[in-house]
């Protein structure tokens, strides 16, 4: 299992509920990224981790979104009080060290549906 894994693969929730999305990066990769892809759209950058710290949270769309990474490995993206516009595929990627040109490897994504 050398690739990026994400769970759950699908999540259906009701408006107003909180959700947690998990990402397990490739072993040894210090950089981790979260993206959001709305139906038929491109990729929207959300947040970047280098180790356990997040030097760039600029893409988080609102304060309902937060993310953490522990032990320099697994990351959790939390969306509080979900809204229907949060429905999207959330993609996680990891790369070796986050330098320019570092190749990002993506997980299969979590499809979030907010009813």
Partner 1 sequence: AQKVTQAQTEISVVEKEDVTLDCVYETRDTTYYLFWYKQPPSGELVFLIRRNSFDEQNEISGRYSWNFQKSTSSFNFTITASQVVDSAVYFCALSHTSGTYKYIFGTGTRLKVLA
The residues that touch partner 1, with contacts defined as CB under 8 A, are 31, 33, 41-43, 45, 48, 50, 56, 89, 91, 93, 95, 98-109, 111
Provide the minimum distance between the beta carbon of 1 and partner 1 in the complex, in angstroms, as a whole number.
14
Q: Is the Cβ–Cβ distance between 114 and 87 less than 8 Å? A: yes
- Judged by CB, which is closer to partner 1: 88, or 114? 88
- Judged by CB, which is closer to partner 1: 50, or 52? 50
Provide the minimum distance between the beta carbon of 6 and partner 1 in the complex, in angstroms, as a whole number.
9
Query: How far apart are the C-alpha atoms of 60 and 67, rounded to whole Å?
Result: 9
């Amino acid at each position: 299992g050398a690739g990026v894994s994400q769970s759950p693969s699908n999540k259906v929730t009701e408006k107003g509920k909180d959700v947690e999305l998990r990402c397990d990066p490739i072993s040894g990769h210090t950089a981790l990224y979260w993206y959001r892809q709305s139906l038929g759209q491109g990729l929207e950058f959300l947040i970047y981790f280098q180790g356990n710290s997040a030097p760039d949270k600029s893409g988080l769309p609102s304060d309902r979104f937060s993310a953490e990474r522990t032990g320099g490995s697994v990351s959790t993206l939390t969306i509080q009080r979900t809204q229907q516009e949060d429905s999207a595929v959330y993609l996680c990627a990891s790369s070796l060290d986050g330098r320019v040109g570092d190749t990002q490897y993506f997980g299969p994504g979590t499809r979030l549906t907010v009813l």
